[in-house]
Structure 1
């Protein structure tokens, strides 16, 4: 019986959140930034539910908070909201900047996918070919100039960042988490042996390892 009641699709889990917490989760209109630590509040409210698991809620939150409508809401609203739609803490400036950056990247990817491939005309093709070898020296010089700052930047940033000590891997501690090549501010929400769950400044839930955490 439990197996049949369990939701499987992430969109179904989102529908569950929409119906269970209508003042907090919105499909399109009225989206507002979520309170930091909202996952913990949801977990307490759905304790004992045979419909969704905590893992599914994390996945649904990840999808909800990475949506461009949500990111846009982070940049426009002054306060975050709790599960009942009440104002919680203020949206910090760094959260707004992070959301703006994520929004720009998301829109750029979408525009790239939608951009039609227009066949080049003969004139365009020829002029493009002529431009290639026209200034080999200047392009080589630019390549050399662009290559130099990269390792210096890496050294500077690596000198400032320190790994988070094992005894500081605790719930509610503020940290920086490594996502690809970037370090993003986050809050630890759960520690489960080697796995650590953190909440990013945008509200997104991420599972990572302790060795990917750094001191703020």
Structure 2
């Protein structure tokens, strides 16, 4: 019976990349922005490997390039590196700004996750102080709650008119904008597989999306 030695855990795939390309991929110290199109280079080097697949490499790259240390490296280094650690193209200002924004959003989410825990602790500490003094009417509070008007919702800012990418333009190497949440990010199409489209963001991160999430640059 044929056995397989393929790695299954993404962290194991990352370890594979660290060992296979030590001048390019770093665990902590010495992290540098990856060359644009690094996925293709990796795929060519590992062609025929029994340990990892291209899909696993793409997932590992997604995790590697979304790490805080990597995003910080994009903002601090002048050049990207290839698989052998050689300088590749310069990091563009647009890429730096995108990395800074991704860092801010990531840190904001982390702070938001921690906030409910602090709020519950504060609620527990202040609950005993919410009782009204003996004989004081609650009518004023009720009136205040009734009269208090909800704050008007902020109008959504228009980011300008964007046009969907025509189906005829969903091709490998085409420059596009991809919708991530509420933001539009510049990217390059790296693979088209029926309804699924793989793109590489300006930070080097690999993302799988749908054709209807792509727009004209």
Note whether the superposition's TM-score is higher than 0.5: yes
- What residue ranges of structure 1 are gaps of 5+ in the alignment? none
Query: What is the CA distance between 1:171 and its match in structure 2?
Result: 1.0
Q: Structure 1's 119 and 197: CA in aligned 2 closer, same or farther, altered over 3 A? A: closer
| Stretch of structure 1 that moved more, 112-121 or 144-153 | 144-153
- Show CA shifts across 1:61-115 (max 9, x none): 0000000000000000011111111111111111111111111122223334456
Structure-1 residue corresponding to 2:205: 204
| Stretch of structure 1 that moved more, 68-77 or 109-118 | 109-118
Contact kept, 8 Å, 2:189 with 2:199, in 1: the verdict is yes
Contact kept, 8 Å, 2:4 with 2:50, in 1: the verdict is no
C-alpha distance in structure 2 between counterparts of 1:71 and 1:138, whole Å: 54
Contact kept, 8 Å, 1:32 with 1:77, in 2: the verdict is yes
Query: What is the CA distance between 1:158 and its match in structure 2?
Result: 6.9
- TM-score between both structures, scaled by the size of structure 2: 0.80
Contact kept, 8 Å, 2:195 with 2:210, in 1: the verdict is yes
C-alpha distance in structure 2 between counterparts of 1:209 and 1:34, whole Å: 25
More helix by share: 1
Q: Structure 1's 139 and 31: CA in aligned 2 closer, same or farther, altered over 3 A? A: farther
In structure 2, the residue corresponding to 1:34 is in which secondary structure?
A: coil
In structure 1, the residue corresponding to 2:70 is in which secondary structure?
A: helix
Query: What is the CA distance between 1:4 and its match in structure 2?
Result: 3.1
Structure-1 residue corresponding to 2:174: 173
- What residue ranges of structure 2 are gaps of 5+ in the alignment? none
C-alpha distance in structure 2 between counterparts of 1:10 and 1:171, whole Å: 26
Query: What is the CA distance between 1:151 and its match in structure 2?
Result: 13
- Show CA shifts across 1:9-68 (max 9, x none): 000000000001000000000000001110011011111111101110010000000000
In structure 2, the residue corresponding to 1:191 is in which secondary structure?
A: strand
Structure-2 residue corresponding to 1:80: 80
In structure 2, the residue corresponding to 1:103 is in which secondary structure?
A: helix
Contact kept, 8 Å, 1:2 with 1:50, in 2: the verdict is no
Query: What is the CA distance between 1:170 and its match in structure 2?
Result: 1.2
- TM-score between both structures, scaled by the size of structure 1: 0.81
| Stretch of structure 1 that moved more, 152-161 or 184-193 | 152-161
Q: Structure 1's 181 and 41: CA in aligned 2 closer, same or farther, altered over 3 A? A: same
Q: Structure 1's 20 and 159: CA in aligned 2 closer, same or farther, altered over 3 A? A: same
